[in-house]
A and B are shown apart, each in its own frame.
Chain A
Amino acid sequence: MRAIGALAMLAAVGCGAPEGGETLQARLSLVETLAGTDTVGYARALEPRAFDFPVDHGPHPAFRTEWWYVTGNLTSEAGREFGFQFTIFRNALSPTAPESPSAWATNQAYMGHFTVTDVEGRRFYAYERFARGAVGLAGAQAEPLRVWLEDWTLEAAAPQAFPLRLEARDDDVALRLDLAAGKPSVLQGDRGLSQKGPEPGNASYYYAHTRLPASGTLAVGGDTLRVTGTAWLDREWSTSALSEGQVGWDWFALQLDDGWDLMIYRLRRADGSADALSDGVLVDPDGVRVPLDWGADVTMEPTGSWTSPIDGAVYPSGWHITVPGRGWDLTVEPRLSNQELDVSFRYWEGAVAVGGVGEGGAVVAGSGYVELTGYAGEPTRP
């Protein structure tokens, strides 16, 4: 559940002036844009479909939005801990590509977010990019898989996609990772159809690779380190997702040391309650999917809060998650409290540490990523 991309993309192009208050006022209101845009002409996620890999690793340009979302926790040889997020969002600006002899003509726009959390250094680096999906600036292809935005790339080293090579750099932060498939892909929701709103079509196609052993190098703060760790790939595409009354979401992707993975998201309504379409899933060490029913099988409660220094927006920070039917009782703590992306569309997405009781009553530890949206106002910088 990371529909943020669609919103942010439309927003960001509308702002972007590096200085001068006046010009910024004219930034497009994303929400208005999204609300006012009809879905006519786009493909919709109406019913479960057969997934076909490696083709489905590639783009689905008939849908409005799509993303390749990689997050993970890394450790250097010396034991320094890092988190990273690498996301490329694809956004169709219109149902069909404009007819034109120009190679620039496209309806596909790309946005990238790249963050590194230096836990020990207490630093959070966040970068954002845009490009149109044309003339080699950005794009996505299935075989061999290659998704790129300038020199940020996620590409397959082999025809069947895995292992993947991820590369991103900005300023003096650079990440280069090889990602192996630790488990097979998991189809989320109903055979990959993830319903987000009650209306038919307010849904996405959604699969994930919940455990990707990662190794590579990370340059940060003047050091270049060899790192290893575990990453998570989310793939989702849709044309419309949110319904009226839904204001944001809290999304968790947790990887436990015993091999179990947990993904849950709570769709929040304007009154703060959880939407009935909130959802979750467990993945066992062999990659077998165990669906969770939000109301009955899983609970999630914030245990603390964090106030953004930017405008005083208050985010939950620290959670208590239980899966009562299996005896799970987990605490989730941010590795760094400030992992807020002050980009076109402000949100918090950061590395977390997990501890508590897991499968079979065993004490477990783990790590993961949490995404929190709908808490902050307008971005303060583009």
Chain B
Amino acid sequence: MKLLTKASLRYLRQHVMQLVLSVLGVALGVAVVLSIDLATESARTGFRISAETVSGRATHQITSDVAPIDERLLARLRTELGIRESAPVVEGFGSSPLLPGQALRILGIDPFSEGPFRPFVVGGGLGVDVADFVTSRRGIIMSQTMATRAGLAVGDSLPVLVGGQAWSLPVVGTVDPTDALARAGLSDVLLMDIAGAQEVLDLVGGLTRVDLRLPEGAAGEGMEMAIRERLAPGASLLAAGTRTDAMGGMIDAFDVNLTALSLLALIFGMFLIYNAVTFSVVQRRQLLGRLRAIGVTRPEILRLILWEAAWIGTAGAALGVVSGLVLARGLVRLVTRTINDLYFSVSVESVPVEPVLLVKAAALGVGATLLAALPPALEAAGANPRVAALRSVIESRARRMVPRAAALGVLSVAVGWLVLEFSSRSLAVSFAGLFFVIAGLALVTPAGALILVRISRPLLEAVGGTLGLIASRGVVSALSRTAPAIAALVVAVSVTVGLGVMIQSFRGTLERWLDGTLRADIYVSLPGATATRAAGTLWPDLLDTFVAHPDVVGHSTYRGVDLLEEVGGYRLVALDLDPRGEQAFDFMEGDAAGIMQRFTAAEGVIVSEPFAFRRGSSRGDLVTIPTPAGEQSLEVLGVFYDYGSDQGAVMMTRALYDRFFDDPGVTSLALFVGPGVDSEAVVRDLLGQVSAGRTVIARTNDSLRTASLEVFDRTFRVTAVLRFLAFIVAFVGVLSALMALELERSRELGVMRAWGLTPGQLWRLVLTQTGLMGLVSGVLAVPMGIVLSIVMIFVVNKRAFGWTLQMQIGPEILLQAVGLALVGALTAGIYPAWRMARTRPALALRGE
């Protein structure tokens, strides 16, 4: 065994570069997986902690999405039911110019009810006279951290914008919890007395929710029943955490997508390891054959190879964990930004170093390394000592393997396809199917490469003469080494192609959708907590003023109410449509004019594609909508394409809405101006009429379109980063494989040099060869990438978000793919060419 260790160490020492690149490959894979894991986990934890902090020790909550809860309910609960542990909460979001980029959670509470609920309210160094808190009009308590960041002290005022209305909120106290969890939970909270919160959040008379502590067992169940009897329609009594879970569930699909992408990076890392280990085995055939000949057993060989892999894996994992922690800090900002843009407000103060995640990522790294090393290790152990040393045996076997691999690949693709076809809606299973497809395509690669190389031979001969031929034949004759390298490069490039096409298709679809949907000339809304959903209520007087503008010839109003159910959330929209805006909907099926006619006649609702997908509902079905007038079953008149929200939307006419809701508010307003009128000028005009202290966002059609696409681009920045990282991993893999391949040919090249190959010719030879491999990989990657994008667009995205995207393939993505592969491959040739050109032929010939 000592001999084996020595042999192993000696080999590794002689191939340091290879070793370093292998470690790097694992490290990158682990880093990407870990950082994505940490980033999404931080976002989730941040969300959960603040949800738990603000709901405190409640066991149950009364909530209502359809209308605020009548504030008089609390006294009824206390006096009629004797439910003393009940606390009213008024909650909403705002922002402050002193705290840019942070959504502020305004939490209105009644300190007299708080005792059993939120210890930070009544303890934890509140340092505030409760009398001041209750009687100072709109006074706030904020965390010391936030106060410091805003540069405020007790006695100052924090300027806050809520639903477009500016407020100046006096800071009556700061809280500095010693408990880290409470600190995290309070990081975005402005604590107000409930009276002030009602005023600022425009919720006078209503409550956002009532927190309860109910006893367990029969007594509690009895109370639950009694409470339910007293609830208004649309209000519900839920166990605490139910809502938090439902809300957290909104980002599941987003999360799974990111995780899958990060796993992709790890799989590239595995390719890399497979490559490196295979290569190290191939290179040591002779040595291993000799070792077997002198009596080293097969298990010992197996152990030797795996042991090496384990060390590489461990080193890579360690490095990966460290860099993953660093990377996570950057990614978490992108991830939380996206969640804030699309789903709900979440603030993440720091990335917690979660030991479980670190261990998981490290184990994944080591495990993947061992798994990748297993096939070559088995092969090394299984080799017959007599023939092991014969290169020709290996290569001829490799060539025999090509059709078999291709067959296996086709099978794997087929399996993947079947999985995708029949896995119904599970996102995780879909990704498993996707991985089967990728693996299958990788297995087909060598066959594809052989064919391409053969096709290109006459061309190479014509261009490069004998050298061209040598280069071409070199790829084929060393197939055992070139095939894995090409496969790795193809997979990496095809994934970037797939992702690129998917993003491009998505963007293109969105653009077309925006063009169709944004019919009005000017859009007016309030600054809200999330970028994609208008929130709040426009001031009625402002509405009147805007509509009365002489250049405005028509208008549509929009009222959005977010409903959260256990199966997911959606937005209920009340539309008062100007006839000009009626063609804004593109229906999946049915006659649009007919649908809109029935819609306008308030015969039912229209639902967005994601909503229909999630609920499995289609045209003609009934949907049940909770309203203050009780649940309403309404017919789905049509399903329209919608890319505004993956949570789905249900739209009804304003008239229908008013029948069920006592809510005259308008969330946003669309204005049509007369022909030839400059919308920009009208916008300036309208904004000039907004009184001081109010902020509205009025945008022209164009600028809303631009803003929407900006949000889209921001959303996909994480994906773009992952795409880039995945490519880096692949690039490193190819670099290491090709470099090793060329270095291994030192002897062969030495012979050629001795025969008179000039250094210049050698450069050409090496670069032609690697370039050929790059080109072949790039060309193979294009159709594979398109296949992947088809899966991502039509299966994964549909299942994750429920929307249909129109595929769109830009030539630049394809050229980029070929270019990337070529550049990567050429880069890989530089070092070996440089080294070989510098080495005296005699030295090269001496061999090891």
Contact = CB atoms under 8 A, between A and B. Distances in A.
A168 to B, nearest CB: 11
A140 to B, nearest CB: 15
A105 B123 contact: no
B195 A26 contact: no
B78 A23 contact: no
Determine which residue in B72, B134, B199 has the highest number of CB atoms from chain A within 10 A of its CB, and name it: B134
Interface in B59-82: 71-72, 74-75, 78-80, 82
A16 interface: yes
A137 interface: yes
A199 interface: no
A33 B77 CA distance: 32
Contacts of A104: 71, 110, 193-195, 198
Contacts of A20: 119, 123
Nearest to A130: B112
Interface string B92-114: 00000000000000000011111
B516 interface: no
A27 B136 contact: no
A15 to B, nearest CB: 6
B204 A137 contact: no
B126 A26 contact: yes
Given A10-B130, A93-B131, A98-B135, A26 B123 contact: yes
Contacts of A15: 115, 122-123
Is chain A's binding surface mostly helix, strand, loop or mixed? loop
B694 interface: no
Interface string A94-111: 100111111111110100
Interface string A25-39: 111100001000100
B630 interface: no
Contact of B131 (A10, A97, A100, A103): A10
A131 interface: yes
A24 interface: yes
B124 A101 contact: no
Determine which residue in B112, B113, B124, B127 has the highest number of CB atoms from chain A within 10 A of its CB, and name it: B112
Contact of A24 (B71, B78, B110, B123): B123
Contacts of A26: 122-127
Contact of B78 (A28, A93, A132, A150): A150
B137 interface: yes
Interface string B134-148: 111100000000000
A102 B82 contact: no
A22 interface: yes
A23 B204 contact: no
Given A13-B111, A18-B115, A129-B84, A99 B205 contact: no
Nearest to A18: B116
Contacts of A16: 114-116, 122-123
Nearest to B197: A102
Contacts of B119: 17, 20, 23
A105 B110 CA distance: 10
A14 B178 CA distance: 18
B156 to A, nearest CB: 19
What range describes how many residues of A lie at the interface?
35 or more
Given A13-B122, A16-B115, A150 B195 contact: no
A93 B135 contact: yes
B196 interface: yes
A135 B129 contact: no
A120 interface: no
Given A102-B199, A104-B195, A130-B112, A23 B137 contact: no
A104 B122 CA distance: 19
A17 B204 contact: no
Contacts of B74: 135, 137
A28 B111 CA distance: 13
A101 B135 contact: no
Contacts of A33: 129, 131
A52 to B, nearest CB: 29
B123 A93 contact: no
Contact of A14 (B75, B122, B137, B204): B122
A306 to B, nearest CB: 29
Given A16-B114, A102-B198, A107 B134 contact: yes
Nearest to B198: A102
A5 interface: no
Contacts of B125: 25-26
Contacts of A98: 134-137, 195
Nearest to B202: A101
A151 interface: yes
A22 B123 CA distance: 8
B120 interface: yes
Contacts of B178: 22
A10 B194 CA distance: 18
B78 to A, nearest CB: 4
A42 to B, nearest CB: 12
A103 B112 contact: no
Contacts of A105: 137, 195-196
Determine which residue in B110, B114, B123, B179 has the highest number of CB atoms from chain A within 10 A of its CB, and name it: B123
25 contacts: A10-B130, A13-B112, A16-B114, A16-B116, A17-B115, A17-B119, A17-B123, A20-B119, A23-B119, A25-B123, A26-B122, A26-B124, A26-B125, A26-B126, A93-B135, A94-B131, A98-B135, A100-B195, A103-B71, A103-B195, A107-B135, A130-B115, A131-B78, A131-B113, A136-B72
Interface of B: 71-72, 74-75, 78-80, 82, 84, 110-116, 119-120, 122-127, 129-131, 134-137, 178-179, 193-196, 198-199, 204-205
Given A15-B123, A93-B134, 9 more contacts: A14-B126, A25-B123, A94-B131, A97-B135, A98-B137, A100-B137, A104-B71, A105-B195, A109-B131
